[in-house]
Amino acid sequence: MDEWKERLKAEYAELKGRLEKLHRWNVKQDVAQRLQPRTVEKTEDDLNRILLLDQEEAMERYLRILETRAEIYGIELGQ
């Protein structure tokens, strides 16, 4: 198999693992945040939470791009 195809498979596997971990973290933080009393002002933790959710969304888009490239070139990702 071409070297770039192997790199795509490795990148996909690494990204998928990181995305799963980030998603679990974001879910835990969401539950914890819902248990806290609401405040009007945004804290540093609130802003970090927003950034982590944005990061998760970007990683999901990138993962879909890798899946599409793999499909186009007939690369088995072993999902």
- Over residues 8-23, the pLDDT tens digits come to 999 999 999 999 999 9
Q: What is the pLDDT of residue 44?
A: 86
Q: What is the pLDDT of residue 45?
A: 83
Q: What is the pLDDT of residue 64?
A: 98
Q: What is the number of helices (H) and of strands (E) in the chain? A: 2, 0
Q: Is 52 exposed, middle or buried (0-12, 13-18, 19+ CB in 10 A)?
A: middle
Q: What is the pLDDT of residue 71?
A: 97
Q: What is the pLDDT of residue 10?
A: 97
Q: What is the pLDDT of residue 38?
A: 73
Residue stretches of the chain with pLDDT short of 50 = none
Supply 58's token pair.
């970007």
